[in-house]
Amino acid sequence: MTLEVGVLGYRFMGKAHANALARLPMFFPDAPDIERSVLVGRDEAALSDAADQLGFEEISTDWREVVDEVDAFYNLGPNHVHPEPSIAALEAGTAVFCEKPLAPTLEGAESMAEAARDADVPAGCAFNYRFVPAIQYANELIEAGELGEIRHVRGRYLQDWLVDPDAPWSWRNDEEMAGSGALGDLGAHTVDLLQFLVGDITRLSGHLRTFVDERPVEGSDETRPVTVDDAYSAQAEFEGGVMGTLEATRYATGHKNDHTIEIEGSAGSLRFSLERLNELEVCLEGNRGYETVLVTDEDDPYLEHWWPPGHVLGWEHTFVHENYEFLSAVEAGGEYEPSFEDGLSAQRVLAAIQDSDERGEWVDLE
């Protein structure tokens, strides 16, 4: 069986997923056969160039024509485009893979999760960082009880692309289109990773801040308002009383894409940094401090598909791994995680952080 894949979006995420789809037959021979069938966008000329470059057979400027024609629909557009086409695809019985955050608003995410519950096909939220081999290894250590009882978690995601007040306005600065700023764009990753590794957040206190209120529109004299946060921080309690702190910003000068996770338990601890994604720092019982484990052995998660030990992987491989799992679930008619339910769970946390910031008090999650 060949799975026909339709992809909405051809910029950053469109390229990351198209690259993954192209790598699958080369490196994951047991992955389902796929066809990069149709690329969806609005600007016909740009779309046509992108389709040639990314290896798609056809283009369409109307997602309505595509959602029930393909076996899997990838929604890689800006956040405000996530709900409607994804719900339409699920209602047509087409599997959906949607970028994070699941939606700009909690209501949007709830409708998407409801459509996913009613559908008989996988609905995945593309939290690609779960598929870093070192993160999968960290999860194995935690599940095997190597850290003992977990007490503390810390997650921070630091970028600096908005430090310059003249950096141009984009949809990522707009509440209608993005929902939130650093919170949804970066915080969604941290929330998902920590909930994946440690368990659900049960209550939290959040803080948001916008540092620059308007930005220039590229190629014009106009400026537009920034209506989302530039940074957030939160204190959170996880299931079992685990204490957590989370933060993200687009103003951390010198930090390009710096996502770090730290977890300490009664028997051991671990640290992960996306900037050194082939490594996991671990301190296990009996250790006097941390040791750095290179997670590139053949028996490490996904590594048998790639290069000999020590021949490191990069950011793009996380997309190959998630596409492999998602498309395998589509072919088998099975479950895929992270699902829309996981996307909704992260969205509830994002909404609670906003709510807490507005109310100036701790907020409980149900």
Q: What is the largest CA-CA distance in the chain?
A: 62
Cβ nearer to ligand SOE, comparing 2 with 257 = 257
| Amino acid identity for residue 100 in this structure | K
Cβ nearer to ligand SOE, comparing 159 with 354 = 159
Tell me the CA distances in angstroms from 20 to 5, 212, 362, one per residue in order.
12, 36, 41
CA 251 – CA 110 distance, rounded (Å): 31
Give the Cβ contact number of residue 186 at 10 Å.
Answer: 27
Query: Per DSSP, what are the bridge partners of residue 6?
Result: 38, 73
Cβ nearer to ligand SOE, comparing 160 with 214 = 160
Q: How far is the CB of 193 from ligand SOE (least distance, A)?
A: 11
Torsion 305-332-200-151 (CA) sign: negative
Tell me the CA distances in angstroms from 293 to 72, 137, 184, 195, 271, one per residue in order.
37, 10, 31, 23, 11
CA 309 – CA 306 distance, rounded (Å): 9
Q: How far is the CB of 289 from ligand SOE (least distance, A)?
A: 30
Three-class DSSP category at 233: strand
Q: How far is the CB of 215 from ligand SOE (least distance, A)?
A: 15
CB 16 within 8 A of CB 317: no
Phi-psi category of 119—alpha, beta or left, where left has phi over 0 and alpha has psi -120 to 50?
Answer: beta
The interaxial angle of helices 188-198 and 133-143, nearest 10 deg, is 30
Residues that bind ligand SOE (CB under 6 A): 12, 159, 185-186, 257
Q: How far is the CB of 257 from ligand SOE (least distance, A)?
A: 5
Cβ nearer to ligand SOE, comparing 185 with 322 = 185
Q: How far is the CB of 136 from ligand SOE (least distance, A)?
A: 17
Q: Give the residue nearest to ligand SOE (CB).
A: 185
Q: How far is the CB of 340 from ligand SOE (least distance, A)?
A: 17
Cβ nearer to ligand SOE, comparing 66 with 131 = 131
Q: How far is the CB of 308 from ligand SOE (least distance, A)?
A: 28
**At which residue do the structure tokens 């955050």 appear?**
101
CA 345 – CA 366 distance, rounded (Å): 10
Cβ nearer to ligand SOE, comparing 34 with 186 = 186
Cβ nearer to ligand SOE, comparing 167 with 284 = 167
